[in-house]
Amino acid sequence: MKTALLVIDYINGIINGSCKEYAEKYPIVKNTNKVISFCRAQHIPIYHVRVAFDKQYTGLPKHSPLFNQAKQKGLFQIGNMDAEFINTIDIQSSDTIINKTAVSPFHSEGLLDSLKSSHIEKLIFTGVATDNAINLGTREAHDMGFYTVIVEDACGASSEEHHQWAIALLKKIANEIITTGDLIK
The per-residue pLDDT for range 171-183, each reduced to its tens digit, is: 999 999 999 999 9
CA–CA distances in Å: residue 72 to residues 19, 60, 83, 102, 129: 21, 12, 15, 16, 21
Residue type, 81: M
Q: How many CB atoms lie within 10 A of CB 56?
A: 9
Cα 4 to Cα 16, 124, 143: the distances in Å are 26, 6, 17
Which pLDDT score, from 0 to 100, does residue 61 have?
85
- Exposure of 124 in the CB half-sphere (CA atoms within 13 A): 26
67-97 pLDDT tens trace: 888 888 888 999 999 999 999 999 999 999 9
CB atoms within 10 A of CB 112: 18
Class of residue 168 by CB neighbours under 10 A (exposed 0-12, middle 13-18, buried 19+) = exposed
pLDDT confidence of residue 37: 98
| Sequence-ordered list of residues with C-beta below 8 angstroms from that of 180, at least 6 positions apart, any chain | 31, 34, 35, 151, 153, 154
Q: What is the CATH number of the domain that holds 10?
A: 3.40.50.850
Note whether 34 and 180 are within 8 A (CB).
yes
Residue 109's pLDDT is 84
Nearest to 16 by CA among 96, 64, 85: 85
Residue 18 CA to residue 165 CA, distance in Å, equals 17
Phi, psi angle pair for 171, to nearest 5°: -60, -25
Query: For the chain, which residues score pLDDT lower than 50?
Result: none
Cis peptide before 129 (omega within 30 of 0): yes
Query: Which pLDDT belongs to residue 64?
Result: 87
C-alpha 83/C-alpha 54 separation (Å) is: 11
Structural domain boundaries, residue 36: 3-184
Q: What is the pLDDT of residue 60?
A: 84
Query: What's the number of domains the chain is made of?
Result: 1
